[in-house]
Chain A
Amino acid sequence: MKANMKTAKSKKLIDNRTFISFVILIIALIVINFTDNDYIKRITSLCGIYVILGLSMQLINGFTGLFSLGHAGFMAIGAYTVAILTIAPEDKVMNFFMKPILPFLANVEWWFFPSLIMAGIIAGVFGFLIGAPVLRLTDDYLAIATLGFAEIIRVVFTNTQSLTNGALGLKAIPNNTNVLWSWAMAFITIGFMVFLMKGSYGKAFKAIREDEIAARSMGINLFRHKVMSFTFSAFLAGVAGGLMASLLGTIDPNMFRITLTFNILLIMVLGGLGNIKGTVISAIIVTAAMEVLRFLDESINLGFIQLEGIPGMRMVIFSMILMAVVIFRKDRLLKGN
């Protein structure tokens, strides 16, 4: 008993190395925030968004062990919520030239923060509504059902002309997302995840991941915890989608294809399943690498020779990295931390 308490005490919330890298990260963010380079700022904001997304997927897949591929759908819900709530009424008229927007939405213009929270809440409500029936399914079936749900959302958004402007998408979304916003949200998410995983809910989630039947016989309400994890995950994905909409300024349903979910999956896999720190690092690296690898798609001028860029090469390299990691790190993949 005494030994137990001792180990519990020596296990601080964060160790020194994490703390130092945390401080370095914050300093780097502050420096970037005050530079004039818009490109770097944009990528940094995107990194923050992907941190949220990676952690959101980590919560459902890495911690609770439910293979869900519905993230693109929840992001779409969040992105459209923020877009519809923040676009100025006169811009809405311009956007919806095919068919006017639903009357009760025509004159709304919310502040950014409440609309972001609203994005999370609506995505969370959808997560709850979808999760309640779908979470009765197990692994592969769950994966395909959530994937299906994300596709349904995309198809519905393509067809609801007076709500989402259909395939034309929405333009002129106010650019509120900056380094500050996206990283503030990212840090809140990190804090929330650490807090959640330390507590009894986190332990229950992990128990479900390790062995459902054992968890159930320990008195854990499987269904309740699964739905909870799914709803939280959807909430975070919705917030991230909202941030992204406001960062990009334009959205359309085709942005939220399965490919987007796969990107997040890649971040999660590289970070190590169930590893919060790893996810943050891999989100930053993957997002930065996506930008760095962009040279593969464009032509390169080496002075003496002009290399033609090949569109799509970036993603080829990217998927090869994903497969190589999975194949060569298969044993360590599931052991987070």
Chain B
Amino acid sequence: MSGMDFLQHLANGISLGSLYALIAIGYTMVYGILRLINFAHGDIFMLGGYLTFYGIMFTSIPWWLVFILASVLTGLIGLLLEKIAYKPLRDAPRITVLISAIGASFFLQNFGIVVFGGRPKAFPIPDVLNKVVNLGGVSINIITFIIPTITIILLIALTYFINKTKTGMAMRALSRDYETARLMGIDVNKIISITFFIGSFLAAVGGVMWGTKYPQLLPLMGAMPGIKCFIAAVIGGIGNIGGAVLGGFILGLGEILLVAFFSNLTGYRDAFAFVLLIIILLVKPTGLLGEKTTEKV
């Protein structure tokens, strides 16, 4: 493999990694507060892609506005999902909530099949984004650079929000100690709603950008990235936003480079994340950046 090829794969890996990172943040935020694997998160990501598709095909709104509107709308759907599927179960045993999450994911996927149809749809990429640039012999699609850029901008905004605002502080307090935070007068339901909105919004941004990079929409497209991004969150240390980003990049880069270097392992691409997960869980059960917890009686 020449150096040029390597650079191309590296660019692809980074852009896939940043997509994974965006989705993984939603998992890690929700898990940090509710201790819940939001299995439906991957399907929220799928909805983001489809809403953009319908916005561009059937309205005359400019594409960049559709991108933003679709992401916000998906964020609101995520919020609604929490109200319906998780809020009634706030005090129920965790396995119950997990089953509800699985049910929600199942519902969204099949709802997608019924409403959007089971056949793949071609994502309408705006011409501005569909350009190939030539960088010293390497031709790379411009979207490969745009994706990491947007991801970094969103990450900076999120870090500011979590560390500097009052709501962000409440979020951190809730994930540190749910009960005490509640006693301190934090409006738990409001914070959880905001968390779901932000997580789903980021997943939807991921979905829109996924569509521009891999322009094919399927109702089940969220299942695999959804699970992989949860794995990314676990690898980085669940509950930790920096960890989710790190995990996302490790997974994205790892996947692309695995296929690039060992082309006979191409078929095993989807297994890579799971193997990595099991290894990391066995070596460091709390993830790379996770804090060590002690068992209390």
A positions within 8 Å CB-CB of B: 61, 67, 133-134, 136-137, 139-141, 143-145, 147-149, 151-152, 155-156, 158-159, 213, 258-259, 262, 265, 269, 273, 310-313, 315-316, 318-320, 322-323, 326-327, 330-331, 333-334
A331 to B274, CA, bound (A): 34
Closest A residue to B278 by CB, please name it: A145
For A326, list chain B residues within 8 Å (CB). 89, 96, 99-100, 103
Taken residue by residue from 89 to 124, chain B's Cβ proximity to chain A (1 for < 8 Å, 0 otherwise) reads as 100111110111011101101110110001000000
B80 at the binding interface (Cβ < 8 Å) = no
Contact partner of A316 (CB less than 8 A), chosen from B35, B89, B114, is B114
For B282, list chain A residues within 8 Å (CB). 133-134, 136
For B31, list chain A residues within 8 Å (CB). 140
Interface of A is mostly: helix
The smallest C-beta distance from B82 to any residue of chain A, in angstroms, reads 13
For B275, list chain A residues within 8 Å (CB). 152
A323 to B39, CA, bound (A): 13
A319 touches B103 (CB 8 A): yes
User: Which 8 A-B residue pairings sit nearest by Cβ, starting from the closest?
Assistant: A312-B113, A148-B274, A315-B110, A319-B107, A319-B106, A323-B103, A159-B267, A155-B271
B110 touches A145 (CB 8 A): no
Closest B residue to A330 by CB, please name it: B92
Interface of B is mostly: helix
The smallest C-beta distance from B4 to any residue of chain A, in angstroms, reads 29
B106 touches A155 (CB 8 A): no
For B295, list chain A residues within 8 Å (CB). 213
A316 to B85, CA, bound (A): 15
A265 to B106, CA, bound (A): 12
B89 touches A327 (CB 8 A): yes
For A213, list chain B residues within 8 Å (CB). 295, 297
Q: Which of B226-249 contact A (CB under 8 A)?
A: 227, 230-231, 234
The smallest C-beta distance from A122 to any residue of chain B, in angstroms, reads 20
A145 touches B267 (CB 8 A): no
For B93, list chain A residues within 8 Å (CB). 333-334
The smallest C-beta distance from A303 to any residue of chain B, in angstroms, reads 25
The smallest C-beta distance from A269 to any residue of chain B, in angstroms, reads 6
For A155, list chain B residues within 8 Å (CB). 267-268, 270-271
A265 touches B110 (CB 8 A): no
Closest B residue to A134 by CB, please name it: B278
Taken residue by residue from 266 to 291, chain B's Cβ proximity to chain A (1 for < 8 Å, 0 otherwise) reads as 01101101110110011001000000
B223 at the binding interface (Cβ < 8 Å) = yes
B227 touches A145 (CB 8 A): no
Closest B residue to A316 by CB, please name it: B110
The smallest C-beta distance from B160 to any residue of chain A, in angstroms, reads 29
A333 to B88, CA, bound (A): 14
A159 to B102, CA, bound (A): 28
For A144, list chain B residues within 8 Å (CB). 37, 227, 230-231, 234, 277
